[in-house]
């Protein structure tokens, strides 16, 4: 059983680190009324729209969802854990670029060195706007 889990994790890690990122569409619009209303309120925020576009173009949605844990934590859980301070935004942007392990469990987040610091910070600002 452990071999299967390790094989699945290795496969997911390799897929996430492919040298040619897949083109991904933006996440599907929210289906319930509360989420839809929240999304409409945020859609005029430039940090929301820029960050959403960057997340949609990256491989982030391979491991993360907005509201549910997948391989990595849900974006709403990340937003709930951290205050939207410049220090936290810089720290989380660094984790996007360099990768990380241990804060959310033992499965490591793969590094994304191809993402600029400015883009990573913009992605974090988007995530922070998802705070419940």
Residues above pLDDT 90, as percent of the chain: 59
CATH number for 32-128 (one of 1.10.600.10, 2.40.50.180, 1.10.150.120, 1.10.760.10): it is 1.10.760.10
DSSP-H helix ranges across the chain: 2-16, 33-42, 46-57, 75-81, 86-98, 117-128
**pLDDT reading at 113 higher than 50:** yes
Residue 23 has pLDDT above 80, yes or no: no
Contact 89, 79 (CB under 8 A): no
**Residue 128 predicted with pLDDT over 50:** yes
Decide if 82 contacts 88 (C-beta within 8 A).
yes
**Whether residue 94 has pLDDT greater than 70:** yes
Q: Give CA–CA dist 39/84, Å, rounded.
A: 18
How confident is the model over 52-73, as pLDDT tens digits? 999 999 999 999 999 999 999 9
Q: Is the pLDDT of residue 13 over 70?
A: no
> What's the pTM value of the predicted model, to 2 decimals?
0.68
Closest listed residue to residue 16, CA positions, set 75, 58, 66, 77: 58
Residue ranges of domains in the chain: 32-128
Which tokens sit at 13? 């890690």
pLDDT band at 40 (very low <50, low <70, confident <90, very high): low
């Amino acid at each position: 059983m452990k071999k299967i889990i390790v094989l699945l994790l290795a496969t997911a890690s390799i897929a996430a680190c492919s040298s040619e990122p897949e083109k991904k569409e933006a996440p599907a619009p929210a289906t319930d009324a509360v989420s839809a209303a929240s999304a409409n309120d945020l859609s005029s925020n430039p940090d929301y729209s820029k960050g959403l576009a960057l997340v949609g173009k990256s491989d982030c949605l391979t491991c993360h969802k907005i509201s549910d844990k997948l391989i990595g934590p849900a974006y709403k859980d990340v937003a709930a854990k951290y205050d939207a301070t410049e220090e936290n935004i810089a720290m989380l942007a660094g984790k996007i670029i360099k990768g990380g392990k241990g804060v959310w469990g033992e499965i490591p987040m793969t590094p994304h060195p191809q993402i600029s610091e400015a883009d990573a910070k913009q992605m974090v600002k988007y995530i922070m706007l998802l705070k419940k």
